Structure 1
């Protein structure tokens, strides 16, 4: 492995265009920026949406640059096909791919393509990139596997830790998606805080424009949505704490239902038992595999968005709700106050009565609903795409300067 690593370093350096020999700076030219495209090219939720959104906004806001997305395969799906149709976003397959390509051999491709910055969008960058002329950035979304190890299998936890710790050590710059994540990186890895820049996430622009009533009516009919509902979005797993929301629903007027959108993990059985115990089967609707184009409409028709998760790196669903002008209730204890702002309501993630009270406080008070919608929309502008994208480009250029 060591010999292979040294060989790739030599190749990368020999292929890299050294502009300094001509008295020129990388900033004098349009940039070629490379991205770890594993999720962008294959995932339709979560990190896939984050990756595509980040690159798309860069491509739109800074069209003079080229954006190369590196992945060993690509999934055929509307979201992904549309993404790669942009003229300055290019999908890059391995020149000589093997199982080491993403971690090591990609350096040859990056150097050959004259990439100036490589951005690892989810916790890892190629080994030995620090020995090449290619500058590197890594995004760390969270260190939940260290903060709450019980939620992860032992081997997964060890692999995540190894990759994150190594990337944080070798990258030229670390992007944390919240102040809480930055604090966790400093605490667990002893990283110099000056090496970490907090750049928040935005959400897809489709959440930022109200749908026409005809579209909302079509969505309501398609998914048989109740007239009045509380919304929860996210994988149904223990950390997301859906059981607390089910328990709180018992104390809310029966006209209000609960709509849950998300993949069902093994924890779903625990939630089902609680639903049966409380006699709430008729008041809860579970939806899966919702087309992304319809999701903003489901948000926009909700009365409240409730997100009692024990721990998050940031909380994109909260941003989606605020842009959709829906009042938000979230849990204390991680970064959700950063995402939700001062006018959202927060409860301890173990406090059923507190969550019930918060739900009723909003549902029974139209003037509070109006205030939370207006103030929430005002607050969430700090996460709007143009601002976040400019911060990211500033980060890239500062690394090169």
Structure 2
């Protein structure tokens, strides 16, 4: 979300100045909140649902844009007539209701569902895909007329096509040569569907042999390690951790 926010702010400043002043609000963790235990995400939840609305109430923006639907509850304190909300997906809600095959959750995600009740308050909703728009209408009761589909932009970093530069990067990280295709996955959340990525890689290996490798960005977890032990592609996986966004 930070990459989405940074790119949006950068381009709004480029396109809208000096007619519009773009402000950025990043919540602060108070000393009282920082002393809370982090058991079961208690500190994060108290900050998100108690402290953050108090901070947002003091924001003077004439137009507000909530960049992550997980903070839609801020529409309790922000003026809904001048607030836009971006919704990226409603996967936790659907998975909690058993609507996604293969997603294993212990019950419904009540905090996510409570937050989703505020979607309809926004003056306008930006959905990042037609699928998300459809889910908002079908599962969250949102008005399709108030939803605009705007696909996420692609950072210029992904348009690099200089073979010497690519070769240099691959060598620096110990990745295979340019003849090998790389499939990137990232994140640890259940909805990243990483175990299914392994099944896909196994099917690709049957067809293309060793010409495709899987590159996982970020930390491993026990479930992943258990699956890797019995996977036929365990020798075609490369791990990168703590990688800067510009790399």
* Post-superposition offset of 1:50: 1.2
Please tell me whether residue 107 in structure 1 is matched to residue 57 in structure 2.
yes
Residue 148 of structure 1: aligned partner: 95
CA distance change for structure 1 residues 143 and 243 in 2, over 3 Å: closer, same or farther? same
* SS of residue matched to 1:69: coil
Please tell me whether residue 128 in structure 1 is matched to residue 76 in structure 2.
yes
Please tell me whether residue 52 in structure 1 is matched to residue 1 in structure 2.
no
Query: Which of 212, 215, 220 in structure 1 is aligned with 2:170?
Result: 220
Residue 246 of structure 1: aligned partner: 201
Residue 205 of structure 1: aligned partner: 156
Please tell me whether residue 175 in structure 1 is matched to residue 122 in structure 2.
no
* Post-superposition offset of 1:178: 0.8
Residue 92 of structure 1: aligned partner: none
In 2: Cα distance, 1:153 partner to 1:288 partner: 29
CA distance change for structure 1 residues 117 and 265 in 2, over 3 Å: closer, same or farther? farther
Query: Which of 160, 163, 171 in structure 1 is aligned with 2:115?
Result: 163
* Post-superposition offset of 1:213: 3.6
Unaligned runs of 5+ in 2: 30-46, 97-102
Unaligned runs of 5+ in 1: 1-46, 75-96, 295-401
CA distance change for structure 1 residues 283 and 148 in 2, over 3 Å: closer, same or farther? same
TM-score, normalised relative to structure 1: 0.48
Kept in 1: contact 2:181–2:211 (CA 8 A): yes
Instruction: Point out which structure has higher relative CO (alpha carbons under 8 A, 6+ apart).
Output: 1
Residue 227 of structure 2: aligned partner: 271
In 2: Cα distance, 1:209 partner to 1:186 partner: 38
* Post-superposition offset of 1:266: 3.9
Q: Deviations over 1:39-86 (max 9, x none)?
A: xxxxxxxx1111111121111122222111112349xxxxxxxxxxxx
* Post-superposition offset of 1:129: 3.8
CA distance change for structure 1 residues 59 and 169 in 2, over 3 Å: closer, same or farther? same
In 2: Cα distance, 1:213 partner to 1:190 partner: 48
* SS of residue matched to 2:235: helix
In 2: Cα distance, 1:57 partner to 1:293 partner: 17
* Post-superposition offset of 1:151: 4.3
Aligned residues: 215
Please tell me whether residue 117 in structure 1 is matched to residue 63 in structure 2.
yes
Residue 231 of structure 1: aligned partner: 183
Larger radius of gyration: 1
CA distance change for structure 1 residues 140 and 189 in 2, over 3 Å: closer, same or farther? same
Query: Which of 101, 118, 139 in structure 1 is aligned with 2:86?
Result: 139
TM-score, normalised relative to structure 2: 0.75
